[in-house]
Amino acid sequence: MRSRADRERDRASFLTPPYEPQGVIIAHAIRELCETIDDAAELIVAALKGPSANGTDHDKPQMRPLHSVAEVLTALGGSAAAAQLTGRRRRSVYIWSSRGKFPAGTYSTIRAALESRGDTAPLSLWSMHADRSDARS
């Protein structure tokens, strides 16, 4: 003999309409619409970027070049912030500013901080120069 739970489950499946509830249909339509909008947005962004000079897409944002120690210190948030970032005293940062050069040992730290802000600075601010073979390329 069949249990009462089995009989009720059979009755419920028999009475269930053969169509999906409206909420499920609407949710599915919204999901498809969102996917279409996302695809269209990607195409629009790619079209607005356009090809670069060498024919490839602009994948990286443009870095803002900084040309002096003063500009770099300002971008980092001032002398106190630069001293804290590099683990040096504020007096040392003042000396860098007056000389117009950073110590070579600060290059990696300052460069990473600048890149995270979308900025860049030339090697010459650290008394370092690009390899001559790089300059010819």
Tens digits of residue pLDDT in 52-89:
545 554 555 677 888 889 999 998 998 999 999 999 99
CATH of the domain at 119: 1.10.260.40
Output the pLDDT for position 37. 78
Are residues 114 and 76 part of one domain?
yes
Distances (CA, A) of 69 to 32, 87, 101: 52, 17, 6
Model confidence over 2-33: pLDDT tens digits? 787 777 766 665 555 555 566 666 776 777 77
Beta bridge mates, 64: 119
Distances (CA, A) of 50 to 43, 58, 134: 11, 8, 28
Are residues 80 and 108 part of one domain?
yes
In the chain, how many domains are there?
2
Whole-prediction pTM: 0.50
Q: Is 78 left (phi over 0), alpha (psi -120 to 50) or beta?
A: left
Are residues 79 and 24 part of one domain?
no
Output the pLDDT for position 57. 46
Domain that holds residue 81: 64-129
Are residues 93 and 68 part of one domain?
yes
Secondary structure of residue 64 in the 3-state scheme: strand
